[in-house]
Structure 1
Amino acid sequence: MTQTARGSVEASVDRTAGTSSEPIFESIDPRTGEVVGTHPIHDQEHVSEAVRTARDAQRWWEELGFEQRKRRLDAWRELLVSRLDEAAELIAAETGKPMDDARLEMVLVVDHLHWAAAKARKVLGRRGVSPGLLMANQAATVEYRPFGVVGVIGPWNYPAFTPMGSIAYALAAGNSVVFKPSELTPGVGEWLCRTLAEVVPEHPVLRVVTGFGDTGAALCRAGADKVAFTGSTETGKRVMATCSESLTPVLVECGGKDALIVDSDADLSAAAEAAAWGAVSNAGQTCIGVERVYVVESVADRFIELVLGRAEKLRAGGQSTADFGPITMGSQVEVIREHIADATRSGGRSLLGGEDSVRPPYVDPVVLTDVPEDSAAVTEETFGPTLVINRVRTAEEGVERANAGRYGLGGTVFSRSKGVELARRLRSGMVAVNSVIAFAAVPALPFGGVGDSGFGRIHGADGLREFARPQAITRSRFRMPIEPMSFGRPKGAVRNLVRLMRLVRGRR
C-alpha cells in the first residue's frame, strides 16, 4: 500500500482511540469476556465533520460514473474474498458466532456486492419514456441520481451482511456513506471501511463513526441526505423522530416475529429441518428467523417429533464444535428467560428445555407448544433459540394467526400443493416456500417489512432505487402547431383538446 493510501485508510476509519481528546469503549468477545478492541466514542462535532468530508468524497465518486464505480467495487469484492477468513474471525470474535456462520455471512456480503455493482447502471441509468399523445413534441427521460451522503446505522447480529445491504447498494448508486456500526461490533465496521479504502484510496467514500446511541443520534442530525437504520422497532421510532427534525428521509428495517406454516401435505422432514435452522441458527438472533410455527393438526405429532429429534442434538457454546454461539447482547438473555416463563405460566408446555436452558451467555434450544396467542412468546420478538409450535385446523388458519401480529418481515410456508397461494396471503415483505430464509440470499429480491417491521427496501433493484432520487427531464424536440400551455394559445385550443381526448381516450 502506498503512503497516500495508508493515510486515507486511517482518516476514513476515524481511528483516534487512545487519544486524550475522546473517550473510548471496548468491544468484548461474548464467549470469553476478553477485549477484542478499543474504539472512540464520537460526538456530534466529529460525526458532523465525517459527513462533511464524505460529501466532498461523494462528488468525486458520483462523477466517476457507473463503470468506474463498478471497477472499484469489483476490486473491493475481490479483496473481501481474498481476506474472507480474516473478516470471519473478527465477526466471530465480536458476536461469538461459529466461524462457519461468520464465513457464510461474508459469502452473502460478496454476492450482494457483486450484484449491486453489476446492476446499478441498468436499474438507475437514464432511460427514455413515452411522452404520450399530448406531449408528442417532447423527449422524456428518467434517471436515478444519488442522494449524496447516506448515513447507515447497523445491527450487531449480522454486522457485515445486514449493513452491507445498505452500504453496497448506496455506493453503487453513487452515494458516499457514513456508517455507525453497533457498539457491540465496531471492529467489523472499521474493517469494512479499511478494506474499501485500500482499493479506493483517493477519497473516503465510506466513513465509520463509533459509539453508542448518542453517536447514532448525532448521525441523524449531521446533515446526511438519507439514513438507513436496522435494529429494534423502538429504536427505529427514535431514529425516525430525530430525522424528522430536518425532514431527512429514512429507511427503517426493524424486528420480526416470523411464522412458519406447515400444511397437511408438507414434506415434514424438510419442514422440521427448516424450523430447527430458522429458530436456532445464530442462537436465534435473526430478524427473519423462525420464532413460531403453525402446523396443521393432522401432521402435528409427526412434525413435532422430527423437530425435537433435530433440536435436542444442537449445542450452544464457544468451542469450535458448538452448533451455535452465545447471546451477543447480554441484556437479551433476560428477555428470552421471561418469554419462556410467560409461555409456561399462561398454559404453554415445554417439550424441550425451559427456563433452565438459560445459562448466560448461552441459551440451549427451547421448544414450546400450546402457547396462548396473546403470550409474549407469540407476540413479541424473542431473539433467542426458542420455538413456539401451535396446532391449527388448516393452513389458512395458520396464515390468519401469523398475520394477527404487529410485525410483518418474513415468513415460511411448507406445502406441496398450495405453497405460493399461502405465501401470497401472508402479510410480510418476504416469504420462502419449501425452504427457509432463502429470499435473503437472492440479491435480486427486495428485503424489508411492513407494520412494526418497518418500511423501505434493501437489496435488488428496489434497494438500489432506495438510495437514489428519480429525476424526470423533458426536452422540446419541435414546436407544436398549437401550444395549450401558453397565454398566447388561440381561442378554442383547450376545447379542441377536450374533443381529441373524448375521441381517443374516452372509449376502450
Structure 2
Amino acid sequence: MSNSIPAGGPLVTGPGDPEHDPTAAYALEPDQVAALTARLLATTGETVLTRTPLTGAPLAQVPQSSEADVAEAFARARRAQEAWARTSLAHRQELLLRLHDLVLDRQEEILDLIVWESGKARKHAFDEPLHIALTARYYGRTLRRHLDTRRVPGVIPGLTRVEVNRIAKGVVGVISPWNYPFTMALCDGIAAIAAGNAVVSKPDSQTMLSALLAAQLLDEAGFPRDLWQVVSGPGAQIGGAIIDRADYVCFTGSTATGRRVATRAAERLIGASLELGGKNPLLVLRDADVEKAAEGAVRAAFSNAGQLCVSIERMFVADQVYDRFVERFVARTQALTLGATLDWGNDMGSLISADQLETVTKHVEDAVAKGATVLAGGRARPDLGPFMFEPTILEGVTPEMACFGSETFGPVVALYRFNDETEAVARANDGEYGLNASIYSRDGERARALARRIACGTVNVNEAFAATFASLGAPMGGMRSSGMGRRQGAEGLLRFTETQAVATQRVMPIAPSFGLSDESYAKAMNLSLRLLKKAGRA
C-alpha cells in the first residue's frame, strides 16, 4: 500500500500545546478564523480549541454559545422569517442559483477548510461543494413546481373551487454532524429557506469553520443575514434549547441521539427528520461484472475513510464470483494511496479523532481475537497522521464480534458468501438499520426488482452511493432505526411546509337550498354521487 506525506515535513509546526503556550502556531491565519467566527452568535466569552486531524495542530479557538444565545438566535430568525415568507418564489430562486455559482467559484477555499477540519482526502471533500451546488440548482429550478398554489377538484364541479397552499413552518433547527461538515450544515437548511423558513444551525463542535463558511456564502448570495443563525456548543448543553424553540428539527447523527431528539420533538408536537446510523449492505450477484463491482466496492467502503452514513460495511458475494471478486477487491484496496495532506492524489484520508480511531481499532482487534481474518489493512498508521487507519477487509466475521452488527463508521468492511439471492436479501435486511444498499448485476431489471425487497431508503444498482446521493430529485433517508423523513426531492422541501386547503363555494351552499328539504337534499346528493362516478370523476 503506497503512502503520502506532506512534502517538506509537517504541514504545521508549533512549540507546544496552545492551551498552555500562546506562541504555538495555528494551521489557519487568525484573520481567516476571525472572519468566520464573527458569523457566530456566541456571547459567553468561552472558547473551545479545535485541531486538524491532519497533524493534530491547532486550528481555532471557537466561541461558545449559551442558551440565552440560542433564544436570541430564534428571536432574530423569527423576525427575519416573517418578511422572508412574503418574498416571491422568483426572488428565492434567483438567490439559490447565485449560491450555486458562488460555491463553484469558491471551491478551492471550501475544499481547503473541509480537509483541514475533517482530515478527509481532497477528492472526498469535493463531494461536498458538488452536493451543495446540485442542491441549490435543483431547488432554484424546481421551486415553483413544488410550492406554487395548486388546484384540486372540488366536491361540486364548477361550484366548489379548492386550492392547496404550502405555508412555511417558521424557524427550522438544523443539528448537523462532523463527517460532511459543509454539505450537512447547509443542504437541509437550503431547502428550509427555499420553502420560506428561517434556520438556526448548530454544527458539530469539531467542524464549526466549514459550517460558518457555508453561512458566509449565504450572506454573499444575498439571503438576509438574520435568516440563518449559527450557534456553537455541545449538543448536551444547547441541543435541547434548539428543539424546544424550533418549529421543525433536522438532525443527522447517531441513532441513540436521534431517538432522544425524536422524543423531545414529539413532546412538543413538532415534526422532525432524522438521518441516523447504518450497517449498509452491498450485494454482488452471480452475473456481476467483477471488475466493476470491485472498483465500486472500494468507493462504497472507503470513501471518507468509511465515515459516511451510507458507507458499506457488509458485502454479500455470490459463490460463483466470490474468489474472483475478493482477489480484485483486495488488490484494489492494497493499491490505495493514503495521506493526511491538503493535496489531490490521496485515495483515502484520516479519521477525524482519537475517539473514532479507538472505535475502529477495537472493532478490528475484537474481530481478529475471535477468529476473523484480515485480508487487507488492519493497522493504525501514526506515521501518516495521528488518526490514520488502513482500509481494512475482514473475512469470517461472526455475530459475537462487535463489528458484525454495530456500526463501525470507519474504513472496515466484512465479506460474506451466499448461495441463494433470497438468503442474501434476508441477510442484508438483518439487524435494525435500513439506510443504504448497493447491488451489482449485469441484469438491471432483476437488480431493481431485488432492490424492492431490501429494507433501505436508498438502493444503488451498479454504484456505491453516489447515484442516489447526487440525484437531487430522488428522496434520501432511512428506514427502521436509520431514521425518518427524507431530504432531497419534493419530500425534502415539503417537509418544511404546512399544507393549507382553501375552498371557495359559489352559487349554492353545500346544504339544502332552493327550497329542498333535508330528505330531498340527501336524495339529490346520492344521485349526484352516482352520476359523478359514471362520469369518472374522482
Shared fold per TM-score greater than 0.5: yes
Shift of 1:477: 2.5
* Pair 484,412 (structure 1): closer, same or farther in 2 beyond 3 Å: farther
* Matching residue of 1:366: 392
Shift of 1:347: 3.3
Q: Is the 8 A contact 2:134 2:472 kept in 1?
A: yes
* Matching residue of 2:487: 458
**2:427 matches 1:405:** no
Q: Which moved more, 1:188-197 or 1:311-320?
A: 311-320
* Matching residue of 1:268: 290
* Pair 440,457 (structure 1): closer, same or farther in 2 beyond 3 Å: same
* Matching residue of 1:4: none
Q: Which moved more, 1:453-462 or 1:97-106?
A: 97-106
* Matching residue of 2:180: 158
* Matching residue of 2:29: none
Distance (whole Å) between structure 1 residues aligned to residue 217 and residue 340 of structure 2: 28
Of residues 426, 435, 441 in structure 1, which corresponds to 2:454? Answer: 426
* Matching residue of 2:355: 331
Q: Which moved more, 1:77-86 or 1:449-458?
A: 77-86
DSSP-derived class of the 1:185 partner: helix
DSSP-derived class of the 2:452 partner: helix
* Pair 97,292 (structure 1): closer, same or farther in 2 beyond 3 Å: same
Provide runs of 4+ in structure 1 moved above 6 Å. Answer: 9-12, 485-488
* Matching residue of 1:171: 193
- Kindly report the root-mean-square deviation, in angstroms, between the aligned alpha carbons of the 2 structures: 2.4
Of residues 397, 403, 407 in structure 2, which corresponds to 1:377? Answer: 403
Of residues 52, 62, 69 in structure 2, which corresponds to 1:29? Answer: 52
Instruction: Tell me the number of residue pairs that the alignment of Structure 1 and Structure 2 aligns.
Output: 493
Counterpart amino acid of residue 148 in structure 1? G
Of residues 90, 93, 113 in structure 1, which corresponds to 2:136? Answer: 113
Distance (whole Å) between structure 2 residues aligned to residue 348 and residue 141 of structure 1: 61
What 5-or-longer segments of structure 2 have no aligned partner? 1-34
Counterpart amino acid of residue 479 in structure 2? V
* Matching residue of 1:65: 88
Q: Which moved more, 1:72-81 or 1:485-494?
A: 485-494
Distance (whole Å) between structure 2 residues aligned to residue 168 and residue 485 of structure 1: 50
Of residues 280, 283, 286 in structure 1, which corresponds to 2:305? Answer: 283
* Pair 387,470 (structure 1): closer, same or farther in 2 beyond 3 Å: same
DSSP-derived class of the 1:167 partner: helix
Counterpart amino acid of residue 457 in structure 1? R
Q: Percent identity?
A: 34
Distance (whole Å) between structure 1 residues aligned to residue 115 and residue 63 of structure 2: 21
* Pair 476,502 (structure 1): closer, same or farther in 2 beyond 3 Å: closer
* Pair 475,277 (structure 1): closer, same or farther in 2 beyond 3 Å: same
Counterpart amino acid of residue 472 in structure 2? P
Shift of 1:358: 6.4
TM-score, scaled relative to structure 2: 0.87
Aligned pairs for 1:25-174 (under 5 A) are 25-132=48-155, 134=156, 137-174=159-196
* Pair 485,58 (structure 1): closer, same or farther in 2 beyond 3 Å: farther
Of residues 414, 436, 439 in structure 1, which corresponds to 2:440? Answer: 414
What 5-or-longer segments of structure 1 have no aligned partner? 1-8
Counterpart amino acid of residue 324 in structure 1? M
Distance (whole Å) between structure 2 residues aligned to residue 169 and residue 492 of structure 1: 51
* Pair 380,82 (structure 1): closer, same or farther in 2 beyond 3 Å: same
Deviations 1:239-262 (A, max 9, x none): 122323422221111011111100
Distance (whole Å) between structure 2 residues aligned to residue 242 and residue 329 of structure 1: 29
Deviations 1:176-209 (A, max 9, x none): 1111101110011111112211232644211111
Q: Is the 8 A contact 1:254 1:454 kept in 2?
A: yes
Shift of 1:494: 2.1
Q: Is the 8 A contact 1:288 1:410 kept in 2?
A: yes
Distance (whole Å) between structure 2 residues aligned to residue 497 and residue 487 of structure 1: 15
Distance (whole Å) between structure 2 residues aligned to residue 489 and residue 278 of structure 1: 70
* Pair 183,11 (structure 1): closer, same or farther in 2 beyond 3 Å: closer
Shift of 1:425: 1.1
Q: Is the 8 A contact 2:37 2:212 kept in 1?
A: no
Shift of 1:219: 1.1
Of residues 321, 324, 328 in structure 2, which corresponds to 1:302? Answer: 324
Q: Is the 8 A contact 1:147 1:468 kept in 2?
A: yes
